[in-house]
Amino acid sequence: NQLIINKSKCDHTGVHFPTYVRKQLKHGIVHLSVGNFHRSHLAYYMDILASDYEQTEWGIIGIGVRSVDKPISTVMKTQDCLYTLVSKGTDKTDINIRIIGSLTDYIFAPEEPENALAILIHPNTKIVSMTITVSGYDLDMNHPDIQHDLQNSDKPKTVFGFLVHALDARRRNNDKPFTIMSCDNVQQNGEVTKKCILKFVQHLNNAELLEYIETKVTFPNAMVDRITPATTDTDREYIQSHYGIVDGWPVIAENFIQWVIEDSFCNGRPPLELLSSSQYNVLLTEHVEAYECMKMRLLNASHTAMASLGFLMGYTYIHEIISDQYIKTYIKRLMYQEITPTLPPVPGINFENYKQTLIERFSNPHIKDNALRICMDGASKFPKFIVPTIMEQFKRGNNPHYCALAIGAWIRYLGGYDEQNKPIILQDVVATEHKLDKLASKTILDVKQILNVQQVFGVIGQHQQFTDDVERVVKLMYEIGSKETLKYWINEDV
């Protein structure tokens, strides 16, 4: 019931194993929705604390909340929750392999909701962390699963149902609550999570619970960073052939890592100050908002802007996209001319260095980050990563030329066919809900109507010059193709 490991090959290649007794780890943390990012970030940090600093309080129990988590649940259970983390720098030889042991158990909630709830209620659980993707925070109170969770407290189906009913049980037991720690790319992720939780509780008619959450539960805001692609069969084969490890779900990530978090934990926290060196980049601060703003507007916005454009130009991976000279020029101008002027100063950060490092990180050819991963859920990403920059530029009386290209390319992508007329499979909850794919299809293309969808674009549809520009981009995309449109748009600014 473990990873299959060729020990001599692992020793020979310098694979790092847990140096602690995993059974002795307490489950100080329960994590909801164990995806690749959690396994390259928080679980890695807790593995370092256990390995290098003999911390035994901060083991993690993972909960798979949705039925789509069945495959990873099967792998995690088969491997006793052990897995391989491979971090790769831009230099081919800069590779680090680590077997992560901090995840000690995994519960697949759709099949055992009572166990998932029980572990959340258990007083040893001090922090509940989550990575539920950006679209997970678009809470729809009419969704059947949310409606189910409002009526049923013993077998919830959603993250918010689990959190709220577990907190209510702890309140009734006179136990301390747990900290709710979002690790998603959402500006003010703690505040946003709190709003979702309170919105849910307001439908329960439970004033004591409302007060308990408002006064006793904390929701630290955090900026999280480590580019972590989805795992492929090639990764599985690579790990087996190079290191002699048969792992059903290894994680590949870049070697860069960062976590900036508010020191706001209602029931204790790991000694994160031990991870403050530049190798681990953990910072406890009251100024998270400025870091979040920088990271989301520079990294996530550039990623989002280049992904659909690069995909339409025929590229598969982010490193291929950023090595196209026209795209590199475009992304640099977007960052330097339109995004950077909107950023508040960030203590200790030189934006120049930060942007250069970003271009290097995007260019890392060894992690093979698929553009389609970034394209996914664009309708939840644009409002959080790009629209705020556009609004800031409007306030300054500017018409952000390069942001218009990002939106235009995405609308062309939503049209459903690439430039070879092959169908694009859209994975985008909010876009589908608002029928953006239908509105963007070539036959009924209506850019202005798309830009008027406020959940995605706020009020930018009311800005005539900007909407005209987006319309021009989409038209050009269909007439002369994405590459020529990009060249034209770059030249138009000169």
Q: Which is nearer to ligand NAD, 104 or 182 (CB)?
A: 182
Q: Which is nearer to ligand NAD, 21 or 68 (CB)?
A: 68
CB 97 within 8 A of CB 16: yes
Among 59, 61, 43, which Cα is nearest to 106's? 61
Q: Which is nearer to ligand NAD, 159 or 406 (CB)?
A: 159
User: Which of 5, 20, 25, 35 touches ligand NAD by CB under 6 A?
Assistant: 35
| Minimum gap (Å) between residue 252 Cβ and ligand NAD | 11
Cα gap 249→103, rounded to integer Å = 14
Cα gap 398→287, rounded to integer Å = 28
Cβ count near 216 (within 10 Å): 14
CB 412 within 8 A of CB 482: yes
Q: Does the footprint of ligand NAD cover residue 431 (CB under 6 A)?
A: no
Contacts 24+ apart (CB under 8 A), 272-277: 272/45, 274/49, 274/53, 275/45, 275/48, 275/49
| Minimum gap (Å) between residue 219 Cβ and ligand NAD | 16
User: Which of 27, 28, 31, 37 touches ligand NAD by CB under 6 A?
Assistant: 37
| Minimum gap (Å) between residue 134 Cβ and ligand NAD | 5
Q: Does the footprint of ligand NAD cover residue 184 (CB under 6 A)?
A: yes
| Minimum gap (Å) between residue 110 Cβ and ligand NAD | 11
- State the helix-helix crossing angle for 189-202 and 144-151, rounded to 10 degrees: 60
Which range binds ligand NAD by CB under 6 A, 98-106, 225-233, 273-281, 314-322?
225-233
Q: Which is nearer to ligand NAD, 132 or 167 (CB)?
A: 132
> Per-residue b/e over 283-298, b at no fewer than 16 CB within 10 Å?
bbeeebbbbbbbbbbb
Q: Does the footprint of ligand NAD cover residue 461 (CB under 6 A)?
A: no
Cα gap 133→344, rounded to integer Å = 25
Q: Does the footprint of ligand NAD cover residue 304 (CB under 6 A)?
A: no
Q: Does the footprint of ligand NAD cover residue 228 (CB under 6 A)?
A: yes
Cα gap 377→485, rounded to integer Å = 24
User: Which of 227, 239, 288, 470 touches ligand NAD by CB under 6 A?
Assistant: 227
Q: Which is nearer to ligand NAD, 194 or 412 (CB)?
A: 194
What are the structure tokens assigned to 130, written together?
């989550």
Q: Which is nearer to ligand NAD, 428 or 471 (CB)?
A: 428
Among 28, 22, 18, which Cα is nearest to 57's? 28
Q: Does the footprint of ligand NAD cover residue 36 (CB under 6 A)?
A: yes
Residues 142-181 vs ligand NAD: string with x where CB under 6 A?
Answer: -----------------x----------------------
The amino acid occupying position 43 is: A
Cα of 339 vs its chain's centroid, Å? 20
Q: Does the footprint of ligand NAD cover residue 301 (CB under 6 A)?
A: no
| Minimum gap (Å) between residue 318 Cβ and ligand NAD | 10
Residues 45-84 vs ligand NAD: string with x where CB under 6 A?
Answer: --------------------xx-xx---------------
Cα gap 85→73, rounded to integer Å = 17
Residues contacting 309, CB < 8 A, separation 6+: 321, 327, 330, 405, 406, 409, 482, 486
The count of residues interacting with ligand NAD (CB under 6 A) is 23
Q: Which is nearer to ligand NAD, 306 or 477 (CB)?
A: 306
Cα gap 267→178, rounded to integer Å = 6
Which range binds ligand NAD by CB under 6 A, 27-35, 164-172, 343-351, 412-420?
27-35
| Minimum gap (Å) between residue 106 Cβ and ligand NAD | 11
Q: Which is nearer to ligand NAD, 376 or 473 (CB)?
A: 376
Q: Which is nearer to ligand NAD, 65 or 312 (CB)?
A: 65
Residue nearest to ligand NAD (CB): 35
| Minimum gap (Å) between residue 176 Cβ and ligand NAD | 25
| Minimum gap (Å) between residue 171 Cβ and ligand NAD | 23
Q: Which is nearer to ligand NAD, 37 or 315 (CB)?
A: 37
Cα gap 163→231, rounded to integer Å = 29
| Minimum gap (Å) between residue 208 Cβ and ligand NAD | 27
Residues 348-387 that bind ligand NAD (CB under 6 A): none
H or E segment and range at residue 259: strand 258-261
> What would the 3-class secondary structure string for 335-368 be?
HHHHHHHHCCCCCCCCHHHHHHHHHHHHCCCCCC
Which range binds ligand NAD by CB under 6 A, 7-15, 148-156, 167-175, 219-227?
219-227
Among 460, 465, 450, which Cα is nearest to 401's? 465
Give me the DSSP letters along 134-170.
GGGGS--TTSHHHHHHHH-SSS--SHHHHHHHHHHHH
Residues 123-142 vs ligand NAD: string with x where CB under 6 A?
Answer: --------xxxx-x------
Residues at the contact surface with ligand NAD, assessed by CB under 6 A: 33-38, 65-66, 68-69, 131-134, 136, 159, 184-185, 224-228
